[in-house]
Chains A and B, each alone.
Chain A
Amino acid sequence: MDSLAAPLEVMARPQLDLELRGIRKRYGDFTAVDGVSLQVEKGQFVCLLGPSGCGKTTTLRCVAGLEEPDDGGILIGGNEVTKDPPWQRDIAMMFQDFALFPHMTVAKQVGFGLEMLKKPKVGIAKRVEEVLKAFEISALADRKPGSLSGGQRQRVALARAMITEPRILLLDEPVGALDYSLRETVMLELKLLQQRTGISFIWVTHDQNEAFSLGDLVVVMNHAKIEQQGTAEEILRRPATAFVASFVQGNNVFRGRVTGTSPDVLQVETSAGRFYVPRPPDPAPMLGDAVSFSVRAEQITDAPSQRQANRLTARCTAVEYFGAVRRHIFERCDGEVLKYDQFGAHAARIVSGQTVQLGWQVEETVLHTGAPG
C-alpha cells in the first residue's frame, strides 16, 4: 500500500483546507467573533448557522481576509494566512447580493479572476466560454448585470467565483436574495457542484433548512461563539446547549435544578414539573446544579404507558398541519409552550382546548452538556 510509505504525521492528520485557531474580532466594545476554532477537511461542505449578528459573517470575512482578526490564527491548506490580504489567499467568495460589477459584461466579469492571475488572453476567452456553457449562461455573455434576473445574477456570481478553482469557496447567504421557489433548485445544484469539484464550501446562513440539508458539518453560532458543531443529525438529535435546542425547530426546552442523582439518571425539578434525564458520563451535574434539557416534539406521545416515565399535563391551544406532520401547541403549567408532533394520517385525537397527559421516554431526553446559553 502506498499510504504506508507516507510520513506518519500526514497520516495522523488528514489535510485541512481551513483551520481557525481561536480567532477574535472586536469593533469597539462589541465583540463580533469570540474565540472561534474550526477545522475544515478537504472538500467538506460546512454551514455556519446562526441568528443575525451572531458573528458568522464576520468569521467568513476573516477567512476571506476582508477583516483581520485581533487575535488567533487562520490557516488555509496548512499555510498561515492570518495577516495576508484577500488577493493572496486561495479562496473565492460569493456575496449576499452577488456584488457583480455593473460596468462589465457577463463574459468580462467571469473572466476577471483569470485576468488577475495573468493568464494568456486566448486561454481566458476559451475558459470563459466553457464556464459560461457549464453554468448555462452563454446567452448572457454580452449583457450587463443591470439587465439580469436574480437567478441569472446568482449564476454569474457563482461562475465568476468558481472559474479560478479556489481551494475554498466562501458563500455569504448565497440563496438569500433568490425567490423562494428558486432556492431549492439552486441549493441542489450547488451541492452537486461542490461534490463534483471537491472544493470546500463554507456557507453562511440563518436558515436551518439550508444548513441541515447541505452541510457535511454544521456549525451553530450565537453571541460570537460556536455553540455546537457536528453533522445535521447530531445537532438535531443531541443539541449541546439550550440555545441550540431552542434555535433548532421541534425541540421543547426545560430548565431546572438537579434534585436527585443515581448512576444512570438525574432527577430535575423544573417549573413544569419533575423530570428524569439520562446521566451523562463524568463530570456529570451535581445535586443542586442548574441544568437544561430538551425533548423533540416527535418523541412525545399523548398516551403515555409505563415506558414513558416523563409526564406532564397540558392544555392544547392550537393544532397546525405541515404535510405529513400534525403539530399540537400546548401550554405548560408554567405558561411556556410545548410542541407535540404526530406523524401519519390517522384521525385527530386532540382538539384545541383539550387538556391531556403527555409523556416521553427518559432515553429520549437530551441533557445539554455544553455551557448553558
Chain B
Amino acid sequence: MSTIRVRSPASYWLAVPAAAWMLGVVVVPIVLLVWVSLWGGRTFSPASPLTFDNYARFFANQTYIKLAGTTVMHTVMLMAVTGVLGYCIAYCLVMKVRSPGWRLALFLAFIIPFWTSTLIRAIAWVPFLGVNGVINQLLMSIGATRSPIEAFLYSKTGITMAQVSLYTMMAAGPVVYMLSSIAPQLREAAMTLKATPLTVFWRIVFPLTLPGVVIGQVLVFLNVMSDFATVATIGGNKHALLSNLVLLFYESSQIRAASVVAVLLMICMLVGVIIALRVVDVRRLGVER
C-alpha cells in the first residue's frame, strides 16, 4: 500500500472533485446570496448599486427584530430541553443497557426515523397532535381530559413537542460516542478515591463528555434555526420563526429581503458555532485519552 504525501501534486488533484463540488453548491450560492442582499435601487438586476439599505430596512422594523429575538429564545429553549433529554437517553444507552445487542437495537430504533426526510417527519406529527389525534384520544380514554386539547396542533407547544422529538437524537448521538469512549476504570478509580456516584458523574463523566454535549448543541442549534418545515406544518400559518420569514419573502418575490434574512440567519449560526468552538476544541476530540 502506498501513501500520498500531504503536499504532493497528487493530493491536490485528488481534492479537486470535492473542492469543485463545494465551490458549486456552497461557496458560489453564498456569494450570490450576499451579493443580492446588497442590491439597492428599484429594479431587480445585477446592475443595481450596492448598498446596506436592505439591512437598514430590516433593522428598522420592530416586528422583525422581535421575531429574531423569539427565534433565538425558542432555539435556546429547545437546546436546553434536547440537551438534558438527549444526555439522559445517551447515558441510559451506554451505562445502563448492558447487552450490546439491546444497545444496538435501541440505538437503531432511535435513529431509523432519521432515514425519512425532516418534512415527512414533521407532517407525521399532525395526526398525533390534532384535535382527534392520537395524543388527545389517549388522554381522553384514560380520563385525563374530557374535551380534546386544541393547544397541541397549530401552537407553539406543538412545534416544540415535534422539534424535541426530531432533534433529541442529534443532541444524544455525540454524547453516546463520548460516553462509550470513557474507560470504565476511570469511574472505578474515582470510586476507590472515595467519590460517590453523583460526584463521579459531575467530576469525571460529565467533563469528559462535554465536547459531545457541545457538538450536539451545535447540531440542534443549526437545525432549529433553519427549520421552517416543522414550524410551517405544525404551527399552521399562525406561527413563524426567522427561517419562515425567508420563505415568506421568497414566496412574495421579495428576493432581496429574503437574502437579507438568509444572510443574517447565517451570521447568527456562524456566531453560534464560533462560540461553541471556543468552549471545546472539536479538532482535538478523542486525542487526549
Q: Write out, one digit per residue, whether chain B residues 275-289 have a CB within 8 A of any chain A CB (1) or not (0).
A: 000000000000111
With A99-B183, A102-B289 as given contacts, are A164 and B194 in contact (CB-CB < 8 Å)?
A: yes
Listed residue (B188, B189, B192, B208) with the most chain A CB atoms within 10 angstroms of its CB: B192
With A102-B208, A103-B207 as given contacts, are A92 and B288 in contact (CB-CB < 8 Å)?
A: no
Q: Is the CB of A99 within 8 A of B194?
A: no
Q: Is the CB of A99 within 8 A of B191?
A: no
Q: In chain B between 158 and 209, which residues have their CB closer than 8 angstroms to a CB of chain A?
A: 183, 185-186, 188-196, 199, 203-204, 207-208
Listed residue (A85, A112, A144) with the most chain B CB atoms within 10 angstroms of its CB: A112
Contacts of B204 in A (CB 8 A): 101
Taking CB as reference atom, which chain A residue is nearest B192?
A: A93
B side interface size, CB within 8 A: 20
A81 CB to nearest chain B CB (Å): 13
B178 CB to nearest chain A CB (Å): 12
A113 to B195, CA, bound (A): 8
Q: Is the CB of A66 within 8 A of B188?
A: yes
Q: Is the CB of B189 within 8 A of A87?
A: no
A337 to B92, CA, bound (A): 55
Q: Is the CB of A87 within 8 A of B208?
A: no
A102 to B192, CA, bound (A): 17
B218 CB to nearest chain A CB (Å): 20
A91 to B189, CA, bound (A): 11
A102 to B186, CA, bound (A): 9
A91 to B203, CA, bound (A): 20
A252 to B199, CA, bound (A): 54
A161 to B194, CA, bound (A): 11
Q: Is the CB of A86 within 8 A of B289?
A: no
Q: Write out, one digit per residue, whether chain B residues 5-39 have a CB within 8 A of any chain A CB (1) or not (0).
A: 00000000000000000000000000000000000
Q: Is the CB of B288 within 8 A of A87?
A: no
Question: A64 on the interface (CB 8 Å rule)?
Answer: yes
Contacts of B186 in A (CB 8 A): 99, 101-102
A146 to B203, CA, bound (A): 18
A100 to B288, CA, bound (A): 11
Q: Is the CB of A86 within 8 A of B188?
A: yes
Question: A364 on the interface (CB 8 Å rule)?
Answer: no
Question: A116 on the interface (CB 8 Å rule)?
Answer: yes
Q: Is the CB of A66 within 8 A of B191?
A: yes
Q: Write out, one digit per residue, whether chain A residues 100-112 have a CB within 8 A of any chain B CB (1) or not (0).
A: 1111000000001
B286 CB to nearest chain A CB (Å): 10
Contacts of B203 in A (CB 8 A): 112
B213 CB to nearest chain A CB (Å): 14
A66 to B185, CA, bound (A): 10
Q: Is the CB of A113 within 8 A of B194?
A: yes
Residue ranges of B at the interface with A (Cβ–Cβ < 8 Å): 183, 185-186, 188-196, 199, 203-204, 207-208, 287-289
Given pairs A87-B194, A95-B188, A101-B190, 6 additional interface contacts (CB within 8 A) = A65-B191, A65-B192, A86-B188, A101-B189, A102-B288, A117-B194
Closest 10 CB pairs between A and B? Answer: A99-B185, A99-B189, A116-B194, A146-B288, A86-B191, A93-B192, A113-B193, A87-B194, A95-B185, A103-B207
